[in-house]
Structure 1
Amino acid sequence: MSDVTSTDLYEVTMALSYLEERMDAPATFSLFVRRLPPGRGFLVAAGLESALDQLAGYRITPTDVRRFAVALGREQAELEPLRGLAFTGEVRAVPEGRVVHAGEPLLEVTAPLPEAQLVETHLLNLVSHQTAVASKAARCVLAAAGHPVVDFSLRRTHGPQAGFQAARLGGLVGFAGTSNVAAATRLGMTASGTMAHSYVEAFPDEEAAFRAFARTHPGPVTFLVDTYDTERGVATAARVLRDLRRGPGCGIRLDSGDLEALAGRAREILDAAGLPEVRVIVSGGLDEYDIDALVRAGAPVDVYAVGTKVGTSADAPYLDSAYKLVEYDGRPVMKLSAAKATAPGRKQVWRSPGGPDVLALVDEPGPEGAEPLLRTVMRGGRRIGPPDDLATAHARFTADVTALPATARRTHGPEPLAPEISPGLEALTAAVREHLEAKWTAARGS
């Protein structure tokens, strides 16, 4: 099925009406997060690359028109105005990997109104999901305090595409590897994996399983040691590794139980066997809160493998994101709904070292020494530069997250930041609000 039809029905009905009313002047929509989820002190911008891919390939085919007609219960001829419509607009966006805050646009789309409307659902889906997962993964990296973190999320994510995105986003914020073979090979990430409990159970005992696995894989191996009794499993793994003279690069994985206590005991057993270089890897439903507790306790863990809770951003699985019209045909517009009011006009976010971000109108100058976060990345429906790479996005993330105050980075009870509003944006917001309220007053009096 075409990606074009993977949309909300009202996007189609509104776009068709715009076309029939000849409302095809330039419109600007702003995509932003209204407020951060509980437990978040910042967000990591993500999803832009796949969003740009979607926009660059957007075109409504005759098959799409036929499917729209079926969904609406109308004759296909009535929806012919949509045929051939493609995205021809401009996109200004925050590059992937940058830290962003509530209320700041992650991207702004300027295009003929029907085009800008039709792409709403896809943009919200791609940017919101990936920003949520990237932000969760970033918190794991911070909690690990320099210890490697790897992605084991594929089997529990909401579909293979979401699993690929989770692996990529882990790489973006500094994960050391992923179990996802497709992501590792396509993105140049390190493939990481061990064995399942079923593998151990298939053999007469753990030692037979470990020796067979080592015969098949002559390089460094990692043994899963908690299928039966964890301490005995560690001792068996140590014996096999010592007998085979396989230490450097090898590891044992703990996947259940009291990981703090078991990691300590595993380290003792491995060291006593003369294997101080064998790593202790922990997994089993971990996220930043578990990692933080283990790090603070001084548990001798070398690598943290995260899966379900991170790949689904389990504690904050969605963002309160919005895609709102802020300007049409040169006229600034805004929404005044209670708790959901929007600010009018095209915008820019300015960031200064050590100072708060400033949310301003696009043509307002920024503070001295500040840099603009939103860049033009698409014009005329085409990218204006090559796709971003993970290394570049990771460098942005590292710089931005390092500059955050410690209160925003902490695992428990982080304090989110908010941008200051520029004088120009404040004045425009007040003027548009006053104009709208005057129209209502006049309408009530007539």
Structure 2
Amino acid sequence: MSKATITDLYEVTMAFSYVREGMEAPAVFSLFVRDLPPGRGFLVAAGLEPALDYLSGFTVGTADVRDFAQVMHREEQDLRPLAGLRFDGEVRAVPEGTIVLAGEPLLEVTAPLPQAQLVETYLLSLVCHQTAVASKAARCVLAAAGHPVIDFSLRRCHGPQAGLASARLGALVGFAGTSNVAAAVRYGVPASGTMAHSYVQSFPGEPDAFRAFARTHPGPVTLLVDTYDTERGTRAAARVINELGAPAGCAIRLDSGDLGALARRARSILDTAGLPGVRIVASGGLDEYAIDALVRSGAPIDVYAVGTKVGVAADAPYLDAAYKLVAYDGLPVMKLSSRKVTAPAAKQVFRRPGLSDVVGLRDEPVPAGAEPLLHTVMRNGRRIGPRPSLASSRARFEADLGQAAEAVRGIDEPRAPVASVSPRLAALTDEVKRRIAATTRSDTP
């Protein structure tokens, strides 16, 4: 099954009608988030790179036509006008890692109307999921206040591909490593892993398990100490680490219970054993809220490992995003539905210092002291320029984050900046509204 069929049925029915009606002039669609989820002061744009991979390979083949005909209960020959359709349009987008606000286009697609319509569902799915996860991960980095954060999300994500994406997105916003082997290899992210409780349970006692693990993996080890009793496990780990000569980089991991209290007791045990350099890694249901509370309490935790709640963006697992037609055949269009009004025409976002953004028209002059955020990244269905590295995307995120006020970066009740609208876009919006109103009146019997 090709990716062309990974779409909603109405994308196919509309595209087919457009082809039959000869409506293949250029259309501009804008993908944006209407409102930020509760508890978010910003979003981190993500998903663009896999979206471009998808678009560059998008083609409707004969097998796809057969599948379309089957689900539409039509003869295959009826749908043959769609065969051979490929994406050969233009994409303008904000780079991955860019901090974005409500109402700002993350990307805009300009292509013949049937093409631009058929790719809607896949683009929304990719960009929404990855932006939601990247934004959650970014908040964990903020909450950790300089402590390393590790991705442990693979086993709890909504499928292996989502886990791969989660590891990449964590690295994009500053995670120090991942447990995901495939992601470590594919993206060059440091791999991080210890042992499971089952490993400890497989041996007569914790010291036996720890010594066996150290024999197999000479050098720094991280030992899981809470299989039975955390304090007893920490003492056993301390004895084994001392037997090894206390190599630099050793750690223990806490995975359950009152992590703050247990970390304090473990730190005391390790220090008493002459092991002040042994780090404490905490995991087990952590997200930015739990990390923030632990950091603020002064818990002696050195590394935070996050999984379930971050990999599925648990408190905000979806975005109120839309992919809307804003121009067709050179004519600006807009939607006027209650509470879902869209602004017309291709746009640009102008970023001024402090995330003081202005949404304007694509062809507006760049205001003094502002930076245009959307750049052409695909033309004629092909990428322009090399694929950016994770390091460059991370640098972009860090630069934007440095502009954010403390209230925007806050973990509890952050205050999101609101982008303003340029006078030219406001004037065009009023003009299109008047045109629609006049057309509506003339259509009324």
Q: Normalized against structure 2, the TM-score is what?
A: 0.99
Q: Partner letter of residue 320 of structure 2?
A: D
Say if 2:237 and 2:252, in contact at 8 Å, map to a contact too: yes
Is 1:72 aligned to residue 72 of structure 2? yes
Say if 2:355 and 2:403, in contact at 8 Å, map to a contact too: no
Residue of structure 2 in register with 1:369 after alignment: 369
Is 1:89 aligned to residue 96 of structure 2? no
| Structure 1 residue 2 displacement after superposition | 0.9
Is 1:206 aligned to residue 183 of structure 2? no
Looking at structure 1, the residues matched to 247 and 285 of structure 2 have their Cα atoms a distance apart, in angstroms, of: 27
Residue of structure 2 in register with 1:262 after alignment: 262
| Structure 1 residue 388 displacement after superposition | 1.4
| Structure 1 residue 80 displacement after superposition | 0.2
Structure 1: segments with no counterpart, 5+ residues: none
Looking at structure 2, the residues matched to 277 and 186 of structure 1 have their Cα atoms a distance apart, in angstroms, of: 32
Q: Partner letter of residue 64 of structure 2?
A: D
Q: RMSD between aligned alpha carbons?
A: 0.7
Residue of structure 1 in register with 2:103 after alignment: 103
Looking at structure 2, the residues matched to 149 and 354 of structure 1 have their Cα atoms a distance apart, in angstroms, of: 26
Looking at structure 2, the residues matched to 132 and 443 of structure 1 have their Cα atoms a distance apart, in angstroms, of: 42
Give deviations 1:304-344, integer Å, cap 9, x for gaps.
00000000000000000000000000000000001101000
Residue of structure 1 in register with 2:139 after alignment: 139
Alignment of 1:31-50 (within 5 A): 31-50=31-50
Looking at structure 2, the residues matched to 248 and 270 of structure 1 have their Cα atoms a distance apart, in angstroms, of: 14
Looking at structure 2, the residues matched to 43 and 3 of structure 1 have their Cα atoms a distance apart, in angstroms, of: 27
| Identity score, percent | 69
Residue of structure 2 in register with 1:180 after alignment: 180
Say if 1:133 and 1:169, in contact at 8 Å, map to a contact too: yes
Residue of structure 1 in register with 2:241 after alignment: 241
Looking at structure 1, the residues matched to 250 and 327 of structure 2 have their Cα atoms a distance apart, in angstroms, of: 58
| Structure 1 residue 246 displacement after superposition | 3.0
Residue of structure 2 in register with 1:322 after alignment: 322
Say if 1:55 and 1:87, in contact at 8 Å, map to a contact too: yes
Looking at structure 2, the residues matched to 293 and 82 of structure 1 have their Cα atoms a distance apart, in angstroms, of: 55
Looking at structure 2, the residues matched to 91 and 26 of structure 1 have their Cα atoms a distance apart, in angstroms, of: 12
Is 1:354 aligned to residue 354 of structure 2? yes
Say if 2:133 and 2:310, in contact at 8 Å, map to a contact too: yes
Alignment of 1:43-62 (within 5 A): 43-62=43-62
Give deviations 1:416-445, integer Å, cap 9, x for gaps.
11111000100011111111112222333x
Looking at structure 2, the residues matched to 161 and 443 of structure 1 have their Cα atoms a distance apart, in angstroms, of: 49
Say if 1:335 and 1:342, in contact at 8 Å, map to a contact too: yes
Give deviations 1:115-165, integer Å, cap 9, x for gaps.
000000110011000000000000000000000000000000000100000
Which range moved further: 128-137 or 431-440?
A: 431-440
Divergent runs of 4+, >3 A:
none
Looking at structure 2, the residues matched to 235 and 221 of structure 1 have their Cα atoms a distance apart, in angstroms, of: 15
Q: Partner letter of residue 349 of structure 2?
A: V
Structure 2: segments with no counterpart, 5+ residues: none
Looking at structure 2, the residues matched to 421 and 85 of structure 1 have their Cα atoms a distance apart, in angstroms, of: 36
Structure 1 residue matching 2:39: 3-state secondary structure: coil
Say if 1:361 and 1:424, in contact at 8 Å, map to a contact too: yes
Residue of structure 2 in register with 1:219 after alignment: 219
Q: Partner letter of residue 246 of structure 1?
A: A
| Structure 1 residue 355 displacement after superposition | 5.9
Residue of structure 1 in register with 2:197 after alignment: 197
Say if 2:143 and 2:288, in contact at 8 Å, map to a contact too: yes
Looking at structure 2, the residues matched to 53 and 392 of structure 1 have their Cα atoms a distance apart, in angstroms, of: 18
Say if 1:247 and 1:277, in contact at 8 Å, map to a contact too: no
Q: How many residues matched?
A: 445
Structure 2 vs 1, CA of residues 392 and 355 (structure 1 numbering), >3 Å: closer, same or farther?
Answer: closer
Residue of structure 2 in register with 1:169 after alignment: 169
Looking at structure 2, the residues matched to 6 and 139 of structure 1 have their Cα atoms a distance apart, in angstroms, of: 31
Say if 1:247 and 1:275, in contact at 8 Å, map to a contact too: no
Which range moved further: 97-106 or 349-358?
A: 349-358
Is 1:422 aligned to residue 433 of structure 2? no
